[in-house]
Structure 1
Amino acid sequence: MKNTIAERILDFLKGYPPFNLIPKPTLLEIAKKVEIHYFEKDQIIFSQNDSPHEHFYIIYEGAFRLYRFAEGKKHVLDICDEGDLFGLRPLIMKENYLMGAAANEETILYGIPINLFNDIILNYPKVSQFLIASFATNTRDPFSEKHKGKLFANIQAIKKVENSFSETQAVKYTPNPITCNATTTIKEAAIIMTENVINSIVITENKKPIGIITDKDIRTKVGTGHFKITDIAEKIMSHPVFTFPEKLAVAEAQIALLKHKVSHLCITKDGTNNSELVGILAEQDLNLIQGNNPLLLIKEIKKAKDAETLKYIRFRAGDLTKGYIEQEIPIYFVTKVISEINTAITKRAIQLSIKEIGKEPPTDFTWFAVGSQGRKEQLLMTDQDNALVFENVDESEYKNVKCYFLELATKVTEKLNIVGFDYCPANIMASNPKWCLSLKEWKQQFKEWIKDPIPEKILLSIIFYDFELIYGNQELYDNMAKSVLKHIKKNQSFLGFLGKVTLDNPAPLGFFKQFLVELDGENKDSFDIKSRAIRPLTDAARIFSLYHGLQINNSIARFEKLMEVEPQNADLFESCANAFKILLQFRTLQGLTNNNTGRYVDINNLSKADRLKLKSCFKPIKNIQDSLKLRFKITQII
């Protein structure tokens, strides 16, 4: 006989996560064991500190409020309505309820037996991930040491269980590489390479790699007559070598080759150059699995003859980003790869522009990115933010020197605009005379911002404190960076003004945990994920990093370093890093899907799972802002 009640329950459950992730036959068995409960308005289903029930609940009809008593007062924490789950704590932590639940109106609940879900969690990982995400949004402190590794916001929890994307797989390196010692002659080393049909030989000492000789070294150092074939290998070897452990993912290898600008990586037992060499990985050993491989894109960028070619390459990089995001490659890796591509495009635009002008720069200069590109977080084609600093010159030369660099900057920003990076609406670009300055002028600029923190200067300093060298003289960049940190150290109160601007931004959620959306304009009723969620975290990471004098720009790297600097607050900073990863990944996917910047999210079109995913990130925002208030005494700033 047909169980019509069970089928009706099934029809309801399959419309909500995580039940929509369960096959129909299994879901029907669950539906058969569901208990139906009716509650009148204000009737309590469980109280704070009660022992856990044998069921967790989903609201079929009506609404429930969750509340907690603290300091003798009752605080309403959330209002749950149709399709919401609650009472999950027994499933996750085997603890008493940390809050109470009461009917906000006449309500019908479905009670799901917890013991049914033990096998479900094991057999359906996505169900487990959803339940953990839901639990995280109602946890008193979801990122404490106690819960570490069990929450959706933890990066391990959002990795795909079975990932066939080849760039996450371990590389296939060449084991037992051919080696020689430092005193072997170049001729002998070349003979060994020829006999073994290889293009490199590793120089070792006590089985540890200390250098490498490649075909290129022999061509450029010996073939040109700079060294003799009778000289020893040590004289022409490239050193130090870059070493990695045996379990190196393709994506990691690609990033390493891009970052260090080398063609070979040494594989050692523990990943350091102080352990035994076990393999060699050459650039060509990487399986170039798709045309949008980052190594190929970088090579094509270096050969590009015009901005249109760069535009085509950057378009393909967008496909690469989408592939990474969809396959759930850790977002930190994605930012590294795409940032290298963006940097390479800017470098090539500068080189092409210098060639177009027809004469070399009159003095040393540095092109630096600010804002999201300066933090290496620009995954989407948003607007460009950049600036230029040139070496101090005599007053008599200043005008001509600045004219050259303004002409150069104009040509570069034009090319970047063709590529797809829109002009900055606020004109924060090197082509603006205000942001094309000598080193002396830049130092004075930062000094004024810090000493006279009026709102306009604070907003500018927020943008420019995330600056990253893209092209040019490293010493100029370092000189400017050290000057900034020096002035900050002398004027710690300035950080309070930076914090006040951050806290002036409304929290992501309203009183009943409803998303705060735009009230008017073209984005009315949309959630501004950049301003309300991502920016508070980037701002906090910046302020704490400046406080400690850290010359780090990337938000994730900042939080991870802060975990080391302030171990007593490691949980807080880790929660912020994990929340930021999820938010950046979410925004990027939104932007790629909708072919825009991903900034404004249509909340009404989000699944309940996505809503929970976002909400799980908001608790760290509140926690870090509370920490800012206390640390920098922001409430005292008028």
Structure 2
Amino acid sequence: MPSLATVPLDQLSLICVDLETTGLVTATDRIIQIGCISPFDASVSIDQLVNPTVPIPSSSTQIHGLTDADVATAPVFQVVFPGFRDLVKDKVIIGYNIGFDLAVIAAEADRHGLDWQPGPALCVRQLATLILGRDTMLMMGDLDSLSAHYGISGDGRHTALGDARMTAALFCALLPDLQASNITTLADARRAVSSLDDQRLATTKAGWVDVAAAPETTMNQTRLARIDPFPYSHRVSEIMHSPPHIISPDQTVLDAARLMSEQRLDCVFIGTGPDQIAGIASERDIVRCMALPTDAVVRARDIPLHNIMSAPVITVSADDYLHIALGRIHTHDIRHLGVTDATGRLAGWISVRDLTRQRLTEAMIIGDELSGAGSAADMRAALAGLPSLSASLQAEGIASYDIAAVISGQYRAAMRKAAELAEAELGPAPLSWSLLILGSGGRNESLLAPDQDHALIFDDMPDTATDAERKAALDWFLTFGQAIAERLDAAGIPYCTGGVMSSSARWCKPLSGWKQTISEWVTHGRAEDMLSVDIFFDYQPVCGEFGLADQLQDHIRISVDGQHDFLKSLARNVQNHSAGTTIFGGLKTENGRFNLKLHLLLPITETLRVLAISRSIDTRNGARRAADIFTTGTVPPEILQLSEDLQFCIRLILRQQITDLAAGRPATTSIDPALLAPQEKRLLKSIQARAGRLHQLLFNCLF
């Protein structure tokens, strides 16, 4: 497989980085401005002031002109860092004396307990030394002189973005001379600058990162492995066409053809509205219609659409990842998919053409086995591929948090299929219903050690219904819940040891029953009620009538409004967790493993849930919750840090699960600390320290 090291310099994915800081001591000085720009695409850039939370010395202000007043309202580093890290991810970092900048960033990340694993880097000053020689660089070795030598504008000098822009232009100006000196690839450049021992020694003594000494990169030139990460990290909503064009079943082929021509469409939907779709007609359907035998009275173009449409319409959710759409198109051998919103109404469509534009091919399709499963055994066979899929995605550099979303999507699909098979066996339900996935599945944070957490809501019986009729309805849904649980267990998703399944009357109720239960949880505030809230309040509907789940969410929002005692009870749950720290500050292990979920993941998740409830935020996903909570402007930046910590913990757990499953061990939520890199151990201890302060953070934000 091609290595990044062999890529020509002018074809690398590069980002030029520059900082303005409070001083030149890498270990203690702070960042006050970040500037980034791509040498080949100026639209890719960052220009961001940062509040260093310490005074800016006047000696530094004399250089960059920035004062305490300039950065007083700027975000702190913890807020800015995730966006910066995302921009430089999978890119080669370049900069003028970039070893200094990288050392300062590393110190800031370590100071705040943030995950920072930069890729390879090149120092433009070192590259210039290769071309101009040491003696020349002694005379004109600063950015101003070199820029003037190459005719580069000095506009914006001593601002982070201005200096980054100048450095990027200098790199481009050096490229022809580097190529003429047979320095054409990243490997060539790194090998050449490694000979500059005097520069490297001086900068290393100053505490800079020695970029020339970094290990040879093994990053892929392009992601050419068996799985393309794109369909596992992008959602249908990103490429769908919207709104859908819907016409009546009684309209004709001519009407459809005219609409498609005028709007430049390749399909139209047949129905009376987005919630009443009967079929779809594409350009190919119309072409085939021309070959239909017709009598003298009816010409082909006058044929009603209901006679030629394809039905039923195969759909995906707008929130599904693209690999689901690929699998569905492959399974059903079709060219168009309808796209539904959270209520199940048609919101748009996508086509094979849209997907192929995203560089996806059939070889990259994982498949849609769950949607075509005819039994629990078929479901089990499909789910058995999740560990290898997760390992492949991890190897391709997909973020573990995104992999968790893919896994969660498969568990939701399994639950939908289990409900479909159960209803096919039992016959139509007596009332409308909605099946809910609870816990991590509702948050899109499931990993490879699943169990069942689900509940059923069904519609209320009319007031005139007898007790016998009500009991018969409840019995049907309890039997339905049992059939769902049995199929999931047979498919490899084991029964919940705590009994949180729709086969139990506690988790299978009519809408009015659920509303009463929620009200009791909120008003009573008992310990067992708070545990139920932790499990239930992250629910997501997976199939059935989504409107029932929406009505219940409205009731939750009203019930918790202003209930400070309820929030205090939830906050006490967080206080009950131990961060898993020994008396000597180490990781508290059992049989050599540290229970990451128990000690860190749960208290972080619970903290975000309580804050979301207190601010009427319906978002379930942990990272999105943190972002939504922060945008209220009522919480400190530490809330965004919780998102970072959450994603780091999930990364460690998923990596351990993949390792354990490959070795024939069961997947758990505990990790082996011996497998952690030194930086990971430091970061984990920082998270432990923050977890120990979560209770105080909660009360500061709530009361």
TM-score of the pair, normalised by structure 2:
0.56
Q: CA deviation at 1:361?
A: 0.7
Q: Which residue of 2 aligns with 1:90?
A: none
Q: Which residue of 1 aligns with 2:282?
A: 214
Q: Does structure 2 conserve the Cα–Cα contact (< 8 Å) formed by 1:572 and 1:623? A: no
* Aligned amino acid, residue 382 of structure 2: I
* Aligned amino acid, residue 385 of structure 1: D
SS class of match (1:367): strand
Q: Which residue of 2 aligns with 1:630?
A: 700
Match of 2:543 among 466, 471, 475: 471
Match of 1:167 among 209, 228, 237: 228
Q: Which residue of 2 aligns with 1:380?
A: 448
Q: 1:138 and 1:491, CA in 2 relative to 1: closer, same or farther beyond 3 A?
A: same
Aligned length: 465
1:527-566 equivalence runs, <5 A = 527-566=594-633
Cα deviation digits, residues 239-264 of structure 1 (max 9, x gap): 9x99x9xxxxxx96436779999936
* Aligned amino acid, residue 614 of structure 2: Y
SS class of match (2:436): strand
CA distance in 2, matches of 1:462, 1:262: 42
Cα deviation digits, residues 183-241 of structure 1 (max 9, x gap): 998548759999xxx993599xxxxxxxx963588699999x9x9945999xx9999x9
Q: 1:605 and 1:487, CA in 2 relative to 1: closer, same or farther beyond 3 A?
A: same
Q: Does structure 1 conserve the Cα–Cα contact (< 8 Å) formed by 2:229 and 2:396? A: no
**How much identity, in percent, do the aligned residues show?**
19
Q: CA deviation at 1:121?
A: 8.7
Q: Which residue of 1 aligns with 2:384?
A: 315
CA distance in 1, matches of 2:482, 2:105: 47
Q: CA deviation at 1:341?
A: 1.8
1:89-488 equivalence runs, <5 A = 135=107, 138-139=110-111, 141=112, 151-152=115-116, 164=223, 167-168=228-229, 186-187=253-254, 200=266, 214=282, 229=301, 253-254=322-323, 263=336, 281-282=354-355, 287-288=360-361, 290=363, 293-294=365-366, 296-297=367-368, 300-357=369-426, 359-393=427-461, 394=465, 395-488=467-560
CA distance in 1, matches of 2:432, 2:120: 45
Q: CA deviation at 1:539?
A: 0.6
Q: 1:318 and 1:51, CA in 2 relative to 1: closer, same or farther beyond 3 A?
A: closer
Q: CA deviation at 1:321?
A: 1.6
* Aligned amino acid, residue 677 of structure 2: S
Matched, 1:614 2:614: no
Q: 1:136 and 1:386, CA in 2 relative to 1: closer, same or farther beyond 3 A?
A: farther
Q: 1:133 and 1:629, CA in 2 relative to 1: closer, same or farther beyond 3 A?
A: farther
1:44-55 equivalence runs, <5 A = 52=25
Q: 1:512 and 1:156, CA in 2 relative to 1: closer, same or farther beyond 3 A?
A: farther
Q: CA deviation at 1:619?
A: 5.4
Q: Does structure 1 conserve the Cα–Cα contact (< 8 Å) formed by 2:457 and 2:509? A: yes
Q: Does structure 2 conserve the Cα–Cα contact (< 8 Å) formed by 1:263 and 1:282? A: no
Q: Does structure 2 conserve the Cα–Cα contact (< 8 Å) formed by 1:136 and 1:616? A: no
CA distance in 1, matches of 2:284, 2:481: 35
Q: 1:427 and 1:221, CA in 2 relative to 1: closer, same or farther beyond 3 A?
A: farther
Q: CA deviation at 1:546?
A: 0.6
Q: 1:182 and 1:449, CA in 2 relative to 1: closer, same or farther beyond 3 A?
A: closer
* Aligned amino acid, residue 571 of structure 2: G
Q: Which residue of 1 aligns with 2:642?
A: 576
Q: Does structure 1 conserve the Cα–Cα contact (< 8 Å) formed by 2:451 and 2:493? A: yes
CA distance in 2, matches of 1:228, 1:437: 53
* Aligned amino acid, residue 214 of structure 1: S
SS class of match (1:428): coil
SS class of match (1:429): coil
Cα deviation digits, residues 22-75 of structure 1 (max 9, x gap): xxxxxxxxxxxxxxxxxxxxxxxxxxx9984999xxxxxxxxxxxxxxxxxxxx
Q: Does structure 1 conserve the Cα–Cα contact (< 8 Å) formed by 2:260 and 2:268? A: no
Q: CA deviation at 1:302?
A: 1.9
SS class of match (1:551): coil
SS class of match (1:387): strand
Q: 1:302 and 1:121, CA in 2 relative to 1: closer, same or farther beyond 3 A?
A: closer
Q: 1:381 and 1:607, CA in 2 relative to 1: closer, same or farther beyond 3 A?
A: same
Cα deviation digits, residues 300-329 of structure 1 (max 9, x gap): 222211101100101113321221123221
Indicate the RMSD between aligned Cα atoms, in angstroms.
5.3
SS class of match (1:470): strand
CA distance in 2, matches of 1:285, 1:325: 20
CA distance in 2, matches of 1:453, 1:471: 30
Matched, 1:499 2:571: yes
Q: Does structure 2 conserve the Cα–Cα contact (< 8 Å) formed by 1:265 and 1:281? A: no
TM-score of the pair, normalised by structure 1:
0.61
* Aligned amino acid, residue 468 of structure 2: S
CA distance in 1, matches of 2:287, 2:575: 59
* Aligned amino acid, residue 499 of structure 1: A
Q: CA deviation at 1:625?
A: 4.0
SS class of match (2:428): coil
CA distance in 2, matches of 1:327, 1:478: 37
Cα deviation digits, residues 432-461 of structure 1 (max 9, x gap): 122111111111111111111111111111
CA distance in 2, matches of 1:505, 1:575: 19
Q: CA deviation at 1:330?
A: 2.4
Matched, 1:601 2:671: yes
Q: Does structure 1 conserve the Cα–Cα contact (< 8 Å) formed by 2:93 and 2:120? A: no
SS class of match (2:620): coil
Q: Does structure 2 conserve the Cα–Cα contact (< 8 Å) formed by 1:374 and 1:553? A: yes
Q: 1:490 and 1:571, CA in 2 relative to 1: closer, same or farther beyond 3 A?
A: closer
Q: 1:190 and 1:425, CA in 2 relative to 1: closer, same or farther beyond 3 A?
A: same
SS class of match (2:391): helix
Q: Does structure 2 conserve the Cα–Cα contact (< 8 Å) formed by 1:265 and 1:282? A: no
Q: CA deviation at 1:379?
A: 2.3
CA distance in 2, matches of 1:400, 1:508: 49
SS class of match (1:471): strand
SS class of match (1:366): strand
Runs of at least 5 residues in structure 2 that lack an aligned partner in the other structure:
1-21, 29-91, 122-217, 270-279, 340-349
SS class of match (1:281): helix
CA distance in 2, matches of 1:436, 1:493: 27
Q: 1:387 and 1:53, CA in 2 relative to 1: closer, same or farther beyond 3 A?
A: closer
Q: 1:189 and 1:129, CA in 2 relative to 1: closer, same or farther beyond 3 A?
A: farther
Q: Does structure 1 conserve the Cα–Cα contact (< 8 Å) formed by 2:474 and 2:509? A: yes
Q: CA deviation at 1:591?
A: 1.1
Cα deviation digits, residues 78-128 of structure 1 (max 9, x gap): xxxxxxxxxxxxxxxxxxxxxxxxxxxxxxxxxxxxxxxxxx9979xxx99
Q: Does structure 2 conserve the Cα–Cα contact (< 8 Å) formed by 1:386 and 1:428? A: yes
